[in-house]
């Protein structure tokens, strides 16, 4: 096959163009020094250590950024019953980017193990990782056993419901452990009484107990708001023995107005089809 100058005769134009591009790139590489470290810094600034979706990516570059404490912390969280997704999010709380007291606790494996053990010992049946996943600031209370003990006593005193399953309530509303202000504590007690009066049941009624255990967020609602929610649900009860039974099965509607609207719409459609 004949050649002409530096080109091969008979070779397609596409191949010749590609060859010229490769030579051009090679000449540029020899003449320009590229600092690839700048690109790595740009990636960290753009995506963060944990990736754009908030979860750590399993690439080799991310693996190299794993902190020394993470493997041991992962073991502790897993031993306490946390799912893989929960573990990743709990590790994020200890990320080096978080500089506050909460971040320091979640980077301290000894503190994690101690506060989980203390919480599970003082509140039988509670899943400690779930507490910290819902309200990370609860760690500031749970890391000190004496502070946690006082917090649990406060929770028991402000909720005047007999035989309440405290583990279920605190697991779903960990912010109860952070009650300190007298007005906030009085508000929780008032909400219990308001709900009891609106449902026309006593404080030791099993249906009221079930409502609080299933939807403890209702304890943070104002008394007037709770009474209004109950009154909105009253005309929707047709098939239950009592209003308390109906609301016990739809307790989330007490704190989510959209759910009350959905129940009202279903009620109206049912009557329209009769």
Quick one: pLDDT at residue 21?
Answer: 54
Give 4's DSSP letter: E
Summarised one tens digit per residue, pLDDT across range 116-160 is 999 999 999 999 999 999 999 999 999 999 999 999 999 999 999
Phi first, then psi: what are they for 126, rounded to 5°? -80, 145
- Length of the chain as a residue count: 274
Judge contact between 240 and 246, C-beta under 8 A: yes
What pLDDT was estimated at residue 236?
94
Interval 212-225: pLDDT, tens? 999 999 999 999 99
Q: Tell me what pLDDT residue 57 has.
A: 46
Q: 7 pairs with which residues across the strands?
A: 4
Residue-by-residue pLDDT tens, the chain, 274 positions:
444 444 444 444 444 444 455 555 444 444 434 444 444 444 444 444 444 444 444 444 444 445 778 999 999 999 999 999 999 999 999 887 777 889 999 999 999 999 999 999 999 999 999 999 999 999 999 999 999 999 999 999 999 998 999 999 999 999 999 999 999 999 999 999 999 999 999 999 999 999 999 999 999 999 999 999 999 999 999 889 999 999 999 999 999 999 999 999 998 998 887 6
Which residue in the block uniquely carries the two structure tokens 């000894």?
Answer: 110
- Measured CA distances, 59 to 54, 55, 92, 186 (Å): 14, 12, 17, 51
Q: Contact 170/131 with Cβ under 8 angstroms?
A: yes
Positive or negative, the CA dihedral 100, 59, 87, 213 is positive
Give pLDDT, residue 97: 72
Position 100 scores a pLDDT of 86
The domain locations on the chain are: 45-180, 181-274
């Amino acid at each position: 096959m004949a050649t002409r100058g530096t080109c091969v005769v008979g070779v397609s134009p596409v191949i010749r163009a590609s060859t010229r591009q490769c030579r051009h790139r090679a000449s540029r590489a020899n003449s320009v020094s590229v600092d690839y470290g700048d690109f790595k810094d740009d990636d960290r600034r753009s995506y963060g250590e944990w990736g754009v979706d908030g979860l750590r990516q399993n690439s080799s570059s991310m693996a190299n950024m794993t902190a020394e404490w993470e493997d041991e912390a992962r073991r502790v969280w897993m031993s306490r019953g946390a799912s893989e997704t929960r573990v990743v999010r709990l590790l994020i709380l200890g990320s080096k980017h978080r500089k506050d007291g909460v971040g320091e606790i979640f980077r301290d494996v000894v503190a994690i193990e101690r506060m989980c053990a203390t919480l599970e010992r003082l509140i039988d049946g509670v899943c400690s990782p779930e507490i910290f996943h819902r309200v990370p600031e609860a760690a500031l209370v749970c890391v000190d056993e004496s502070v946690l003990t006082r917090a649990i006593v406060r929770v028991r005193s402000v909720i005047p419901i007999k035989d309440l399953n405290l583990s279920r309530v605190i697991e779903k509303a960990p912010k109860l452990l952070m009650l300190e202000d007298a007005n906030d504590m009085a508000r929780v007690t008032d909400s219990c009484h308001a709900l009891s009066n609106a449902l026309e049941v006593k404080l030791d009624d099993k249906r009221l107990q079930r409502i609080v255990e299933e939807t403890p967020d209702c304890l943070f609602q104002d008394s007037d708001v709770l009474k209004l929610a109950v009154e909105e649900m009253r005309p929707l009860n047709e098939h239950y023995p009592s209003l308390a039974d109906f609301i016990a099965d739809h307790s989330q509607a007490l704190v989510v107005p959209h759910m009350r609207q959905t129940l009202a719409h279903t009620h109206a459609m049912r009557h329209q089809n009769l």
